Structure formats: structure tokens, C-alpha cells
């Protein structure tokens, strides 16, 4: 008598949803995409969101990948209620720790004649598939092992000592099912799927059904590539006498050429890439939602493309999900990220810039209060001039280096005209007359401020030399920052102070001869 599977999981009146990534490398952006839609519905319905690690593929398993999943999803604010790191009523939440759970289910199917042992070697299966493709036969296992004992099968070619276990798909298997997004869906006929591998680990198809049942999962939300597998999963639920969950198959994220986005071909498929590039997590959540869901309508009927997770979750409806594979448009995402950058307070933005500036060596890991105060002032200048946090380093660097330590960019020097030395001479003379001393009255400010600096320079160069404003300040920008494009010039000079500004103007003047 075979051991029977565990009793059905207790039913719950509130939804239970899960995301179940495999730790096989950097987390895929699809993990965040699926987590977002699962979590939005779970929060709206006062349900639970579960994180399960599906680590049965031991050939591709990577030790550090699980922690990357935790880190990136937490970074995005897509937090779970149960999981390997925090536990829960249905622990353990790693499939590799649940191997004893799956064996009774396999034994039951074998005992009932709904599954069978297969001793075919990988080489024999590859040869079989090659013949099927060449002769244009339906692909799938040819059931060479079905109905045979080990001894009978051993007499035939392509025999492996350690068998796998396959489902025996009946001729009348149901191929249609209801999908929350797509309505009635038809899937192709499945072949006799392997459900237990030679190493004793279950395949995805068995483990996902057993785990979703035993963890009380009510809604399975996953990519459309799993539509073809759903009849196999429904069949397993029926064989075990279990109530299947509701299904929602999300459209796949696609590259601009409409191919499936993959980590091999597109760096943006790596979830860690977005953090490395300086995208904001709240912007990525907003962008992922827009990819497969229509924006809300404003009071005047306009699309509202900028929204929070809570706003998205509040009005979420599976029927509104667009089943057509969305194009992952990084240009639009960069625009959206810029919107979020500009929405941050100056203090918050400066705080978020800090690790990127430290990584680039602009600031040390132990910045002084004076440096942090200067960073805040610079952040205010550059907030509207960047879309990604990584764009800050070249804009900020000139404010944290010695006056003679930065190099001049080639394009900055190349755009200087013959009158550049005269412009620099005029600027040095004019700014020398702008005081940087306080009056001595408590709370008074120095006259060295952007407005006074601008007035002095306009008087000396625009009016005094007759140079149009469009061309008047190029040499000064190059002198102060070393670049052709920089933060606002007069405000930059104010932050640098009079001494540093004059030193830099003189340095370029000497450089030009």
C-alpha cells in the first residue's frame, strides 16, 4: 500500500498568491513583474503574498541567487508575507527542503497506473526527437518504456540504470481552461511529462501543483509560456482529487524586435541591472505596471501614467490586463524615471545619490558634514538635469576635486573661440571686485551669490565686450567644470566660492596661453 499524500490544505476565504523564482542567476525582471501583479491583487483583497524558491534544477542552481531575489524585491518594496527568510504556516518554502513531500504523490500515481517509470537515456531521447522532427511527426515521448518491467526495458537500446517517472496522459485529457485575463483558453496536447527526475528531485510540473495545493494558493499568476503546461497541471489536480486554483497567464515582456526578453540578450532582463544603472525602485514598479495595464483616466480624460503601488492596487482588475506582449521601452522608462527623480525632495535625492557617488570615487564612504551640505546644494542644481542616478557623478565631481585636479574635456576645449582668453581675463577682473565677506551683522550673507556673480559677468562680458549671452559664458563653464555641459554656471560659482572660482578661471587662462 503506497503512502497517501497529505490532506488538502485548509481553505481560506481570502486569496493566497505566490511568486516562485528559481535561483539560477541574477533575478529576471519578470520576477518583479509577476510579483507586482500578484501583490497588487493580494493587497487589494486583503490576502497573502508568498515567496517560494523553486530550486529543484540543481544543474543551474547558484548559491548567491536566492539572496539577490530577496534584496531586489525588497528594494522594489514588493514584500511578502511568507517565505524562506521569514517562515510561515506552510514552511519550508524552498522546494529542495520539501523532497519528502513530493514522494507520496508520485507513489500514488504509480500505484494507480497514472504514471510509469522511464529508463531512456538522454541520448536515446535526443535521437527520438531528431527522427520525429525529420519525419515531421508530433514531438513527444514515444512510450517505449510504458508497460515494461525493468528487465524487459533493459534488453532494449538506450537503457539507463536510474529511471525517471512520467505522467501517462490520457487520450481524453481536457485541453481548455478558464483564464482570468484571457477567458477560455485552448492549449496543445501535452506529452507524457517527466514528474520525478533521476536525481530524486521533482520537476516543476509536479512540485508546483503539490506546493500550490499544500500552501493554499488560490490564484496562480505566471507568464503565458506556461499556458501549454496548464492541462498537465489541471490533470494532476484532478488525479489527486484537489480543487485547482484560478489561472492568470500574464503577457511576456518583449524586446523592441518583439522577441522574448532574456538575460542572455538584454541586460535589462537582469533585475539587478536597474539598480546598477541608477533607476529608482518606485519608478520601476510604476513602469512594470504600465507595461500590461492601462493607465487610469484623469478628471479630463487624460492618461495618468505616474502612480504609486497603492493607487495601482486599489483599482486593480484582472480583466484590464492586456494579453498582448508589451514592448520593454527603455526610452520611456528613462523619461518616467526622470519624472520620479524630479519629484524627490532635495534631501532624499542627495541621500540616494550618495552610494553612486561613493562608487565612482567622487565622495568617500565617510563624508564630512561640510561635504554633505555641499552635496545638497549641488543636488538642487542638477535635479532637473538627469534621468538616472548614475548621471550625477560627472556633474557633481567638479565640486569635490581640487582646482587643478580635473581634466578638460576635449569637446569643451574644442568649442572655445579665439576670444576665450580675453573673456577669462574680463571675468577674473570683474569677479575680483565681488566681495565674499559678510558684513559682520549676525545672520548676514556674503555678497558672493549667484545674482551678484551673474550681474558682474554680464556687465563685463556681454555689455563690456559685446558678446552675445549665448556665447559669452562658454569659457567660464569649461574653466569651472572642465566640461562643455555643466550645472547652472553662476550657482556653481556660488557653491565653489570666490577663491576656487578665480583659481579655476586663472588655470584655464594659463592653459590657453
DSSP 390-444: GGHHHHHGGGGS-TTTSPPPHHHHHT--TTHHHHHHHHHHHHHTS-----SSTT-
Averaged pLDDT for residues 80-98: 96
CA atoms within 13 A on the CB side of 491: 11
Q: pLDDT at residue 458 above 70? A: yes
pLDDT band at residue 369 under the 50/70/90 scheme: very high
For the residues 55-69, what does the mean pLDDT come to? 84
pLDDT number for residue 258: 82
Q: How many CB atoms lie within 10 A of CB 237?
A: 15
Contact 130, 124 (CB under 8 A): no
Q: Are 381 and 346 in contact (CB under 8 A)?
A: no
Quick check: 438 pLDDT over 90? Answer: no
Task: Give which of 346, 349, 294 is closest to 317, Cα–Cα.
Answer: 294
Q: What is the per-residue pLDDT across 481-496, written as a single tens digit (0 to 9) for each?
A: 999 888 999 999 999 9
How many other CB atoms are there within 10 angstroms of residue 98's CB atom? 19
Share the mean pLDDT of the chain: 92
Between strands 296-297 and 303-304, the pairing is antiparallel
3-state class percentages of the chain: helix first, strand second, coil last, to nearest 5: 50, 10, 40
Which residue positions form the known binding site for ATP? 263
For residue 3, pLDDT over 70 is answered with no
pTM: 0.90
Q: In what order do the strands lie in the sheet with 246-250?
A: 48-51, 16-19, 219-223, 246-250, 176-179, 183-186
263 catalytic? Reply is yes
pLDDT at res. 1: 37
- At 239 the pLDDT is 98
39 exposure class (CB count in 10 Å sphere: 0-12, 13-18, 19+): buried
pLDDT given for residue 63 in this prediction: 81
Residue 433 near residue 395, CB atoms below 8 Å: no
The confidence band for 198, taking pLDDT boundaries of 50, 70 and 90, is very high
β-pairing, 194-196 vs 159-167, is: antiparallel
Q: Is the dihedral of CA 85, 89, 92, 94 positive or negative?
A: negative
Q: Distance between CA 477 and CA 482 in Å, rounded? A: 7
Angle between helices 330-343 and 281-292 (to 10 degrees): 140
Name the H helices within 59-175: 65-75, 99-111, 122-134, 150-154
- Sorted by sequence, the CB contacts under 8 Å of residue 359 that are 6+ apart come out as none
H-only helix segments in 155-280: 204-214, 230-239, 271-277
CB atoms within 10 A of CB 342: 12
User: Cα(188)–Cα(183) distance, rounded to whole angstroms?
Assistant: 16
Q: What is the pLDDT confidence band of residue 439, given thresholds at 50, 70 and 90?
A: low
User: Tens digits of per-residue pLDDT, 388-431?
Assistant: 999 999 999 999 999 999 899 999 999 999 999 999 999 999 99
For residues 233 and 210, what is the distance between their CA atoms, to the nearest angstrom?
A: 10
- 361-381: average pLDDT: 94
Tell me the average pLDDT across 242-269: 88
Residues contacting 14, CB < 8 A, separation 6+: 45, 46, 47, 48
Tally of residues, the chain: 513
DSSP alpha helix (H) spans, 215-364: 230-239, 271-277, 281-292, 309-314, 330-343, 346-359
Binding residues: 263
Q: Using CA atoms in the order 203, 178, 187, 223, what is the torsion angle rounded to 10 degrees? A: -50
Active-site residue among 48, 232, 263, 498? 263
Most confident of 59-73, 259-273, 332-346: 332-346
Condensed to tens digits (0 to 9), the pLDDT of residues 102-125 reads 999 999 999 999 999 999 999 999
Asked if omega into 277 is within 30° of 0 (cis), the reply is no
Query: What would the mean pLDDT of 276-304 be, rounded to a whole number?
Result: 92
Helix, strand or coil, per DSSP, at residue 318: helix
**Domains, the chain:** 406-513 (1.10.10.350)
What is the DSSP-derived secondary structure letter of residue 366?
Answer: S
Residues pairing with 223 in the sheet = 250
267 or 71, higher pLDDT: 71
Amino acid at each position: 500500500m503506497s503512502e497517501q499524500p497529505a490532506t488538502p490544505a485548509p481553505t481560506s476565504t481570502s486569496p493566497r498568491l505566490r511568486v516562485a523564482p528559481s535561483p539560477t542567476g541574477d533575478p529576471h525582471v519578470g520576477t518583479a513583474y509577476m510579483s507586482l501583479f500578484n501583490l497588487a491583487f493580494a493587497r487589494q483583497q486583503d490576502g497573502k503574498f508568498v515567496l517560494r524558491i523553486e530550486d529543484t534544477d540543481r544543474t543551474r542552481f547558484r548559491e548567491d541567487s536566492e539572496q539577490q531575489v530577496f534584496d531586489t524585491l525588497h528594494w522594489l518594496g514588493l514584500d511578502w508575507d511568507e517565505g524562506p527568510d521569514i517562515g510561515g504556516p506552510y514552511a519550508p518554502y524552498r522546494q529542495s527542503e520539501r523532497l519528502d513531500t513530493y514522494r507520496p504523490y508520485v507513489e500514488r500515481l504509480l500505484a494507480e497506473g497514472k504514471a510509469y517509470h522511464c529508463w531512456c537515456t538522454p541520448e536515446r531521447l535526443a535521437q527520438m526527437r531528431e527522427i520525429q522532427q525529420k519525419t515531421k511527426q508530433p514531438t513527444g515521448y514515444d512510450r517505449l518504456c510504458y508497460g515494461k518491467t525493468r528487465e524487459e526495458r533493459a534488453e532494449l537500446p538506450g537503457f539507463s540504470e536510474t529511471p525517471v517517472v512520467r505522467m501517462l496522459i490520457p487520450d481524453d485529457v481536457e485541453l481548455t481552461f478558464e483564464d482570468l485575463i484571457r477567458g477560455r483558453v485552448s492549449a496543445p496536447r501535452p506529452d507524457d511529462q517527466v514528474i520525478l527526475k533521476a536525481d530524486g528531485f521533482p520537476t516543476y510540473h509536479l512540485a508546483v501543483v503539490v506546493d500550490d495545493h499544500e500552501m493554499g494558493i488560490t490564484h496562480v499568476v505566471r507568464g503565458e509560456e506556461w499556458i501549454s503546461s496548464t492541462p498537465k497541471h489541471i490533470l494532476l489536480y484532478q488525479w489527486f482529487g484537489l480543487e485547482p486554483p484560478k489561472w492568470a497567464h500574464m503577457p511576456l515582456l518583449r524586446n523592441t524586435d518583439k522577441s522574448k526578453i532574456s538575460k542572455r540578450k538584454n541586460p535589462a532582463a537582469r533585475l539587478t541591472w536597474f539598480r546598477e544603472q541608477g533607476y529608482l525602485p518606485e519608478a520601476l514598479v510604476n513602469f512594470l505596471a504600465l507595461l500590461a495595464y492601462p493607465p487610469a483616466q484623469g478628471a479630463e480624460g487624460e492618461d495618468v501614467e505616474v502612480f504609486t503601488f497603492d493607487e495601482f492596487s486599489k483599482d486593480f482588475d484582472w480583466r484590464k490586463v492586456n494579453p498582448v506582449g508589451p514592448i520593454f521601452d527603455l526610452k520611456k522608462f528613462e523619461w518616467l524615471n526622470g519624472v520620479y527623480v524630479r519629484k524627490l525632495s532635495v534631501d532624499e535625492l542627495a541621500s540616494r545619490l550618495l552610494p553612486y557617488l561613493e562608487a565612482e570615487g567622487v565622495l568617500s564612504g565617510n563624508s564630512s558634514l561640510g561635504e554633505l551640505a555641499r552635496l545638497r546644494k549641488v543636488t538642487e542644481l542638477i535635479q532637473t538635469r538627469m534621468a538616472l542616478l548614475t548621471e550625477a557623478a560627472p556633474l557633481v565631481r567638479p565640486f569635490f576635486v581640487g582646482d587643478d585636479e580635473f581634466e578638460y574635456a576635449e569637446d569643451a576645449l574644442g568649442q572655445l573661440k579665439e576670444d576665450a582668453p580675453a573673456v577669462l581675463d574680463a571675468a577674473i577682473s570683474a569677479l575680483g571686485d565681488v566681495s565674499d565677506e559678510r558684513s559682520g551683522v549676525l545672520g548676514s550673507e556674503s555678497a558672493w551669490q549667484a545674482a551678484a556673480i551673474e550681474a558682474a559677468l554680464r556687465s563685463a562680458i556681454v555689455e563690456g565686450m559685446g558678446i552675445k549671452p549665448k556665447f559669452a559664458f562658454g569659457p567660464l563653464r569649461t574653466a569651472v567644470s572642465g566640461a562643455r555641459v555643466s550645472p547652472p554656471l553662476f550657482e556653481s560659482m556660488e557653491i565653489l566660492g570666490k577663491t576656487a572660482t578665480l583659481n579655476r578661471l586663472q588655470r584655464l587662462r594659463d592653459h590657453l596661453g
